[in-house]
Amino acid sequence: MSDRPRVVVTGLGLVTPVGLDVESTWSALLTGESGAAPITQFDASEYPVRFACEVKGFDPESYMERKEARRADRFLQFAMATAAQATAQAGLEQAMESIEPERVGVIVGSGIGGLSTLEDQHAKLLGKGPGRVSPFFIPMFIGDMAAGMISMRYGAQGPNYATVSACASSAHAVGAALRAIRVGEADVMIAGGTEATVTPLCMAGFASMKALSERNESPETASRPFDATRDGFVLGEGSAMLILETLDHALGRGAPIIAELAGFGQSADAYHMTAPSPGGAGAQIAMRGAMRDGGLTADEIDYVNAHGTSTPANDATETAALKAVLGDRAANVRVSSTKSMTGHTLGAAGALEAAICALVCNRGSVPPTINYKTPDPECDLDYTVAGKVDTEVRAALTNSFGFGGHNVCLAVRRWDGE
């Protein structure tokens, strides 16, 4: 691996259910704030699940012209916001004047894309006929438009596409961006994910399959990863974007270095549409792959941001996989599920949690898992349940597992200046 370029994170952007930027999100995570509340985007009074982790107070016109914002689905608005935040932190816009545009690429994952646009336009088709369907429907709906629009905004002419692998979508995007840099296709990549699926159809679908928590009387305590009383995940929305570049490129332009993206592992369960494989066999392959790719041993892993969805099957299976991969070290590794606060942002989750790992390594604080009250004998690791912990983190793993059996693990290493 010595001949491969090292890849570092030089910018982050976040729009989440607990904050509209990196600092507000980070502060909320460390203090254990829940983003769950009754749904406001539509009338959910007749639904079996009436709450979600919505992004609150977001103004797309802070990042886009009014006309452009009106022609953009919410998932795209989120993506443009986080790309703007990340490029600003990295100083990328100014740097673009001296970077060959074909050396800058964009990969953005989304599990579903512009679902609210699809629902709205389908209603118009049924109610008013085909002539009333918007000419902007298709470009507003398709999931690759986030990557496309970001490339247009910043003049990035390098690798450009979307990744779609359900809840692993943006983890795949970050991993693919890492590889694009390593093989020499780009010097800089804007990578991340975005999702905006707190919609009538999505809520109805997930509720129908009994995947969601039904604690309508207490939304803020509904997401309880690894707790014995967990009964499903809480749907979230948001976006996360990372600026990745070679270490030499970052040092050469004096960019801030937040952390190193060290490894990427991926696999398939090849088992079931929605259930994880027994013992987390596929998850184990992904985690071992990320550690091998990053040249990391179990003894170097100090933190794991778990997939930790708060579903009965996932949390026990992920725990088993962590113990299998980390061995005796597992008992001494801090684990937390920030989905206990953000909810499950689906296709955006992988990038969001990779960004959190970069902050953990950079700032030396581990966010907690909230709402853990009742121990589960099958979930017996240290889930950081007593509040945030200030501790040195040399390296972290983040897991993302999607319906269809898609597994991704990303490894992040602390940057010590050498």
| Catalytic option among 53, 172, 249, 307 | 307
Beta strands, E only, 201-340: 238-246, 259-268, 301-305, 334-336
272 as an active site residue: the answer is: no
Helices 74-90, 145-154: inter-axial angle, 10-degree rounding: 40
Sequence-distant (6+) residues with CB within 8 A of 72 are 60, 64, 80, 140, 149
Asked if 338 and 18 touch (Cβ cutoff 8 Å), the reply is no
Spatial CA neighbour of 55 closest among 110, 114, 109, 14: 14
Asked if 74 and 239 touch (Cβ cutoff 8 Å), the reply is no
Asked if 396 and 357 touch (Cβ cutoff 8 Å), the reply is yes
379 as an active site residue: the answer is: no
Asked if 112 and 202 touch (Cβ cutoff 8 Å), the reply is yes
Beta strands, E only, 26-89: 37-38, 51-52
| CA angle at 325 for the pair 362 and 266, rounded to the nearest 5° | 75
Sign of CA dihedral 115, 117, 123, 125: negative
167 as an active site residue: the answer is: yes
Residue 23 phi, psi dihedral angles, 5° rounding? -70, -40
The CB density around residue 255, as the number of other CB atoms within 10 Å, is 22
| Catalytic option among 53, 202, 249, 344 | 344
| Catalytic option among 53, 167, 361, 379 | 167
Sign of CA dihedral 137, 348, 159, 161: negative
Spatial CA neighbour of 167 closest among 315, 16, 351: 351
Amino acid at 261: L
Q: Which residues are catalytic?
A: 167, 307, 344
